[in-house]
Every structure is written in C-alpha cells, then in structure tokens.
Amino acid sequence: MSRNSAAALREIGRNPLLRVLVDVAGFLILVAALGALLAHNTAALGYRWQWHRVPRYILTVRDGQLHAGPLLLGLGVTVRIVAVSLGVSIAVALATALLRLSQSTVGQALARVYLEAIRNTPLLVQLFFTYFVVAPIVGLDGWTSAVIALSLFEGAYASEIIRGGIVSLPAGQWEAAYSLGLGRRDALRFIILPQALRRILPPLVGQGVSLIKDSALVSTIAIYDLTMRGQVIVAQSFLAFEIWFSVAVIYLVITITLSALVAVMRRRLVGSYEH
C-alpha cells in the first residue's frame, strides 16, 4: 500500500463523520451487489416477479365485502396458538422455577428431568412425539398437541429465565419479608416476584419472539398456520419468491411490534421505582 493511501485511511479512522459515511457507503455497495446478483440470477432462472398477484392472498373483496385471504387466516391461527402457548408456557415456567427453588427433593428432581429432556431433544421431535405418540393415546387434536408441545418447549427456557430473576434478588429481601412474619408465598407474591419481573421481562420477551418463530413448525402437523398457508399457496400458484418474502415480512412485523410494545411497558414499570 502506498504511503499516501495509508495516510488517507488513517485520516478516515480518525474522523467520526467520515467513518460513518464510509461505513454506510460500504453497506450500500454490498446491498447493490446482492440486488444485482439476485436480479441476474432470477432472470437467468426465468423467474417472473408477479407481486400484483400477492394482495389477494392477504385480503380479498367478494360481493363488495372485505374478506381475509389465506395468509391473514393463517396469521390468525398463528397468533391464537402463540397467545395460548405463551400463557401456558409462562405458567409451566413459573411452576418449574418454583419447584427448582423449593425444598422438595422430588420436586427439584422432576423439574431437572423435564428441563434436561426438553433442552436436549429437537423441538420438531417433541412436536411429532406429542402429535403421533401422546395425542392418539390420550385423545388430543392437532391444535392442542401443538399448544402443549410449544408450551413445554418454551416453558423450559422461560423457567430458567424466571429462576435467574428470582435468585438475582438480594437475600435481604426474603429475610426482611420473613422477619415481618410473612410466609414464603406472600414473600414471593408481594416482594420477590414483582421485583424479579422487571429483570425477567426483557429476556422473557426474547423467549416470546422465539415462540412466534418456533410456532412455524406446527405446519408439519397439518395445522393451517401462516407457514402452512404459505406452503399451500406456493404449491398452487408457484409464487414462491413473493409468498415466502411476504410470509417472512409478516413474522417480522409481529415480532418487532411485540418487542417495541414491551420496551414501552418496561420503561413504565422501571420508571415507577423512583419517585
């Protein structure tokens, strides 16, 4: 490298504005290159983009009335499964966390076995096990199987988050509660959990986002969620690029919305500590 260009690079490294400009320019060049590559390759594949055919899969107008298209219907199923699984998984997580923190040896052992079993096998296998093995024996439908498998899976990870939040509180909080004559249950309910919640919430939201993404796997047991609808549409219309792109964007919108909502909620919660 010539002395001049080395000096120029050093100059760029020193100037913060210049550094940002170079950074952004580099990114734009990369995007342009990828775009060109994509355009070139899709052209070579003979792929014809047909974005105008996509909206009808989201919303359709029939008899002058607006109807949800298959993608929106799928989104509805995904949201319902996620909402129910979220509730159940938090209950499972809380129960598991409390068992692990309890004095009961059996309770601790049960919780450990559950955690190890869930964390050391693939979610897809758990889903199949629930749907093809457990469900026929106890008579569950696909939807319930999906909720159970997802709840047990996310609950295992969420329980570690909750346990971490609880044990991170200073022991003095428990001792103050006990010294006032409160029992373990009241101490948890009024002192420990409300404070732990503030620490638990951010990582728990991350787990909720995982739940939304993982819920796509229920399409493998014939549940018409967003992903399954996408698959069906692609099979019928051959709009693979447009539909999978749209499906990805829909997932992205709900996960990002969730994160944003909780960020607002958290600011409120944390704010209330101080005045």
Partner 1 sequence: MSISSHHDAIITVSGISKTFPNGVRALDDVSVSIARQEVLVVIGPSGSGKSTFLRCLNGLETVDRGTIVVDGIPLDHDRSNRLEIRKEVGMVFQQFNLFPHMTVGENIDLAQRRVRGTSAADARTVSLELLAKVGLEERVDSYPARLSGGQQQRVAIARALALRPKVMLFDEATSALDPEMIGEVLDVMRALAAEGMTMVVVTHEMGFAREVGDRAVFIDEGRFVELASAQRLFDAPREDRTRAFLSKVL
CA distance 40 to 249: 23
Nearer to partner 1, 81 or 204 (CB): 204
CA distance 225 to 231: 10
**Which residue from 47, 84, 186, 216 is in contact with partner 1, where contact means CB under 8 A?**
186
β-strand partners of 65 = 62
Q: Does residue 202 belong to the site contacting partner 1 (CB under 8 A)? A: no
Q: Does residue 241 belong to the site contacting partner 1 (CB under 8 A)? A: no
Q: Does residue 199 belong to the site contacting partner 1 (CB under 8 A)? A: no
Q: How many CB atoms lie within 10 A of CB 123?
A: 16
**Which residue from 62, 65, 179, 264 is in contact with partner 1, where contact means CB under 8 A?**
179
> Using CB under 8 A, which of the segments 14-22, 173-181, 224-232, 255-263 binds partner 1?
173-181
> Using CB under 8 A, which of the segments 39-47, 114-122, 207-215, 266-274 binds partner 1?
266-274
Q: Which of 183, 125, 178, 173 is CA-nearest to residue 153?
A: 125
Q: Does residue 183 belong to the site contacting partner 1 (CB under 8 A)? A: yes
Strand, helix or coil for residue 65: strand
β-strand partners of 62 = 65
> Using CB under 8 A, which of the segments 110-118, 131-139, 191-199, 226-234 binds partner 1?
191-199
> Using CB under 8 A, which of the segments 25-33, 87-95, 157-165, 178-186 binds partner 1?
178-186
Q: Please, how many CA atoms are within 13 Å of residue 171, restricted to the half-sphere of its CB?
A: 0
Q: Does residue 31 belong to the site contacting partner 1 (CB under 8 A)? A: no
Q: How many CB atoms lie within 10 A of CB 120?
A: 7
Check the CA dihedral 38-42-47-48 and report its sign: positive
**Which residue from 13, 136, 194, 202 is in contact with partner 1, where contact means CB under 8 A?**
194
Q: Min. distance of Cβ 180 from partner 1 in angstroms?
A: 4
Q: Does residue 190 belong to the site contacting partner 1 (CB under 8 A)? A: yes
CB 247 within 8 A of CB 230: yes
Binding site for partner 1 (CB under 8 A): 170, 172-173, 175-183, 186, 190-191, 194-195, 272-275
